[in-house]
Amino acid sequence: MRMRWIGGGASQSPSDRFGMTDYHKLEVWRLASELSDGVVQLVDRLGSRLRASKADQLLRAADAIHENIAEGCGFNSDPQLAKYLRQARGSADETQDELETLARRGFITPEFEDLLAKNRTLCRKLSRFIETVEPRKNHRKAAD
């Protein structure tokens, strides 16, 4: 599925074009929220011993994805948005690692296997969004 951006006009900044004041309109925020809800359902079905050791970290990482997207949008600034999108991407990687660990150990039942694919899709979409807000040429200039 293609990323659905909000707005238009190439002369506008990405935060203006994508309607950053309302993060609810962003597909990445919606996907992150759905993923987070799915993680809550998964954690609710884990055994108490596993919940005690894994649940908190997994839940915080999954929630941080949509929370960082929302927070970055609130600044209405491309550099701030890019910063928070990168943080969201890091939290998505952490969520992926936690889910893969549970899967490797046989704790993810078939009804939750789609969480891994959903998170990978979200990671790709976040990366594309970051590149749109902060094109790579800006990264190279900063590194020079």
Domains of the chain, start order = 15-136 (1.20.1440.60)
Give per-residue pLDDT as tens, 14-43.
Answer: 555 555 568 999 999 999 999 999 999 999
Give per-residue pLDDT as tens, 53-92.
Answer: 889 999 999 999 999 999 999 988 899 999 999 999 999 9
Token look-up 């055994």 returns 47
Question: What's the helix, strand, coil split of the chain in %, to 5?
Answer: 75, 0, 25
CA atoms within 13 A on the CB side of 2: 3
Give per-residue pLDDT as tens, 90-115.
Answer: 999 999 999 999 999 999 999 999 99
| Rounded CA separation 20/26 (Å) | 8
Among residues 144, 61, 120, the alpha carbon closest in space to that of 95 is found at 61
Quote the radius of gyration of the chain (alpha carbons, Å): 16
Q: What is the pLDDT of residue 5?
A: 38
